[in-house]
Structure 1
Amino acid sequence: MDKSLAVAADRNSIGDTAALSGLKFSKGHGTGNDFVLLADPNGTLSITPEQVAALCDRHRGVGGDGLIRAVPSRLLPEGQELLTGHPDAEWFMDYRNGDGSLSEMCGNGVRVFVHFLIAEGLVELPAGESLTIGTRGGAKTIVRTAAGYAVDMGSWEFIFPGEATARAMDSLVSAEGLEVARPALSVSMGNPHTVVALAELSELNATQLFTAPHVDPTPPKGTNVEFVVPSEPLVHEGVGTITMRVYERGVGETQSCGTGACATAAAIRHWAGQGAPDVWNVHVPGGVVGVKFFLGPGGHEHVELSGPAAIVASGVLS
C-alpha cells in the first residue's frame, strides 16, 4: 500500500472509535469466549460495524470475539416483534461478531450477557430463578445456578434434513492440516454449524484454523465449523464426552462456542444412534460446558447449555 494511503487508513481506524469516547464498557467471557459489553438502557447508542471491529481488535481496541449491547427489547424492531410472544423478555442481546457483522445467537454470550445485566444492576436474578431475554435467535430462558448459568437454547434441526437422514452427512470440509476433505453434518441452533468428526486428538491438534475451512456445500447463511473428537469410551456413567475446536464465521478460531457445543453434541449423538445419552460434557480450549437434551414445549426436543460466566474488567473508552 502507498504510504500516504496507509496513514489515511490508520487515521480512519482511529476515527472509528473516537465518537465513542467516554462510553462505559465491560469485558467478559464464558469459557474463554470473550466479549465487549455495553449497556444502552435508553436505546440511544448507535455503533457501526467498523466501530465494532475496532473495539474488538486485540491490538488496537479492547479485544473480543464479539460485542454485546444490552438494550430494552421494546426499543428494537426485532425486539418489539419478539415481545408479542414473550412479553417478559425485557432485555435484548444485540450481538455482533468481531468483524462487526450481525449474528443470530451466541450461547456463551447469553450467559455473559445475563451476568453483565446483574453486575450493572439492570436485573436481579437469585440462584435458582430464571430470566427470559431476547436475541435474534428468539427468546431464551436462563436459570442462574451455583456454578454459573443454564440456558434453554431452544430446539435444534438439521440444515439439510434429507441428506442428514439418508447418509448421516451432508457436506465435505477441507482445512489446513487435514490431508483429505472430511464428511460433515450441518446443524442449526438458530445459527448454522457444520460438524466434522476426527478420530484422534492428534488430528484435532494438527488442524490449522488460521483461515476459514472450506465447506461444500456451504449452508445458505454461511456456517461455523466444529472439529470434534469423541472420547474413548464415548459414554461414562451415562454422560457423553467430546473435545472440540471451532472456527466461527466473522471471528476465526475462538476458545469456546456455546451454540457450537450444542450442535456438536447433537451431531455426535445422532451418529452414535439409539441409546446415545442426553447429557454431554464438551471440552473446548477455554474449559468445559455442559449440554443436555430434553423434551421442550410442543413436544420438540430442546437443548440446554450450562457453564460459567465472568466479568473481568470495566472501564471508559478514551
Structure 2
Amino acid sequence: MPFDLRFTKGQGTGNDFVLFADPEGDTELTPSQIAAVCDRRFGVGADGLIRAVRSRNLEAGASAIAEARDAVWFMDYWNADGSVSEMCGNGIRVFTSYLLDQGFVELPAGGELAIGTRAGVRRVSRSADGFQADLGVWRLSGDDSLVRAKSLPVARPGLGIDVGNPHVVVALADDDELAGLDLGYAPILEPELPAGANVEFVVPADPLVEDGIGRIRMRVHERGSGETLSCGTGAVAAALAVRHWAGAGAPKDWRVQVPGGTLGVRMFDAADGEHVALSGPAELVFDGVLSLA
C-alpha cells in the first residue's frame, strides 16, 4: 500500500543524502525502495539514505547502547543502491544537523553528541566550519590491492585502510591523471575484497605541507554509490595513507580537497590508540514528501 515519506535533503561538500525521522523504528524501507528514493532521475536523488531512529528501537542499536549509554540516536545509513553501510563521515555531520533541526537533540558549544553507527559510537562536536566527528581508532587493514581504473593506463598499488568501513587508497602522479580518470566505471581490485571497498585516488599538493598542514586532492568511487563529489571517511583514509607514505615528521593536520569542497582531517592520541577526526560543513537543503509503493 502506498505511503508518504516525509524527508529532508542534506549535503556535506556535495555528498548528498535523503534523511527521514523514524524514532520508534516503525518504517523500514526495502533496498529497492531506498534505491528508488536515491535515483537521480526518478526519485529524490542522493548518494545515500539515512534513517534517524532511537538506538533502543533497532537491533543494530543494541551494541551502540552497550558501548555508550548516551548514544540515544542511531544513524541507519544505506548506500544509493540499497545496500547497507557501516559508516559515513559526511553523513554523520548532516545527520547531526538534521537531529538539531528536528529538535531531537541539543549540542551546545563545547559539547558533544554520541551517535550510534554500525561501526560503533561516534562523537560529534561543533567546529568552525560546521561539525567535527571523532571517527575513532583507525588501522591499516592489510587489504592492499592492485587497482585498475578506466583511463588509468597502468594498474597502481592501493593501500588498505579501515576507518570503520573499508578503503583502498591509490597515489597518482599528478592532477592530469586525477582529472583523466573515468570513475563512471567501478575500479577493479586484484584481489577482490569480499565486502568491497571505497577506492580513493589522491595527488599531493605542491608543496605537500604548508603552515604545518598537509594538503592533498582526491576523487573517490564509493561502493554502492559510484563516484561522489565527496566521501568523508574516504578523505580521512586518503590523509592517513599519504601521511603513512610520507613517513616520520609528516603532520597530523590535513586539508583534503574533493570535487565538492574541502574537508579537515586531524589525527590525535587517545587512551585506546590514535584517533582520527573529520571536520566540514553540513547543510539541509529542502524538505519534501514522497509517495512510495
Which interval holds the TM-score relative to the shorter structure?
over 0.9
Identical-pair percentage: 58
Shift of 1:125: 1.2
Residue identity opposite 1:84 in structure 2: A
Q: CA deviation at 1:42?
A: 1.6
Tell me the equivalent position of 1:3: none
User: Matched residues in 1 for 2:114 and 2:56: separation?
Assistant: 14
| TM-score under structure 1 length normalisation | 0.90
CA offset at residue 261 of structure 1?
0.5
The CA distance in 2 between the partners of 1:217 and 1:158, in whole Å, is 17
Tell me if structure 2 keeps the 8 A contact 1:187–1:193: yes
Whether the 8 Å contact between 1:192 and 1:219 is mirrored in structure 2 is no
What corresponds to 2:212 in structure 1? 238
C-alpha distance in 2, partners of 1:68/1:172? 32
Q: Aligned partners of 2:8 and 2:125: how far apart in 1?
A: 22
Post-superposition Cα deviations, 1:141-176, rounded to whole Å, max 9, x if no partner, equal: 000123200000011111117xxxxxxxx3211111
Q: Residue type of the partner of 1:280?
A: W
The question of whether the paired residues in 2 share the 8 Å contact of 1:137 and 1:190 is answered with: yes
Match of 1:209 in 2: 183
Q: Quick one: distance in 2 between partners of 1:220 and 1:54?
A: 26
Larger Rg: 1
Shift of 1:218: 2.6
Q: Distance in 2 between matches of 1:176 and 1:219?
A: 19
Please report how far the alpha carbon of residue 207 of structure 1 lies from its aligned counterpart in structure 2 after TM superposition: 0.7
1:223 Cα deviation (Å)? 0.6
Cα distance in 2 for partners of 1:288, 1:272 equals 21
Q: Which one has the bigger strand percentage?
A: 2
Secondary structure (helix, strand or coil) at the match of 1:80 reads: helix
The residue aligned with 1:74 is: 56
Please, which of 8, 15, 21 is the counterpart of residue 39 of structure 1?
A: 21
- 1:127 and 1:199 map into 2 onto residues whose CA distance is 42
- CA–CA distance in 1 between the matches of 2:225 and 2:264? 23
Quick check: 1:267 aligned with 2:241? yes
Q: State the AA in 2 paired with 1:277.
A: P
Alignment-mate amino acid for residue 182 of structure 1: R
Matched residue, 1:316: 289
RMSD: 1.1
Write out per-residue CA displacement over residues 74-111 of structure 1, whole angstroms, 9 at most, x where no aligned residue.
01112112211200000000000000000000000000
Does the 8 Å contact 1:159/1:219 carry over to 2? no
Range moving further from structure 2, 143-152 or 104-113: 143-152
Q: For residue 43 of structure 1, report the CA deviation from its aligned partner.
A: 1.2
1:46-125 correspondence runs (5 A): 46-125=28-107
Q: Which runs of 5+ in 1 are unaligned?
A: 1-17, 162-169
CA contact (8 A) 1:128 1:145 kept: no
Q: How does 1:8-47 map to 2 (within 5 A)?
A: 19=2, 21-47=3-29
Q: What SS is found at the alignment partner of 1:115?
A: helix
Preserved contact between residue 71 and residue 91 of structure 1 (Cα < 8 Å):
yes
2:275 counterpart of 1:302: yes
TM-superposed CA distance for 1:308, in Å, is: 0.4
| Correspondence 1:149 to 2:131 | yes
Paired residue for 2:226, among 252, 261, 266? 252
Counterpart residue type for residue 152 of structure 1: D
Give the C-alpha shift of residue 305 in structure 1: 0.2
Write out per-residue CA displacement over residues 269-299 of structure 1, whole angstroms, 9 at most, x where no aligned residue. 000000000000000000000000000232x
In the other structure, the counterpart of 1:223 is: 197
Distance across 2 between alignment mates of 1:171 and 1:137: 23
Aligned equivalents of 1:249, 1:231: Cα separation in 2: 26
**1:189 corresponds to:** 163
Distance (whole Å) between structure 2 residues aligned to residue 66 and residue 252 of structure 1? 11
Pick aligned residue for 1:137 from 119, 123, 128: 119
Q: How many residues are paired up?
A: 291
Aligned AA for 1:143?
S
Tell me how far 1:183 sits from its aligned partner: 1.2
Please report how far the alpha carbon of residue 184 of structure 1 lies from its aligned counterpart in structure 2 after TM superposition.
1.2
Q: Which amino acid aligns with 2:188?
A: H
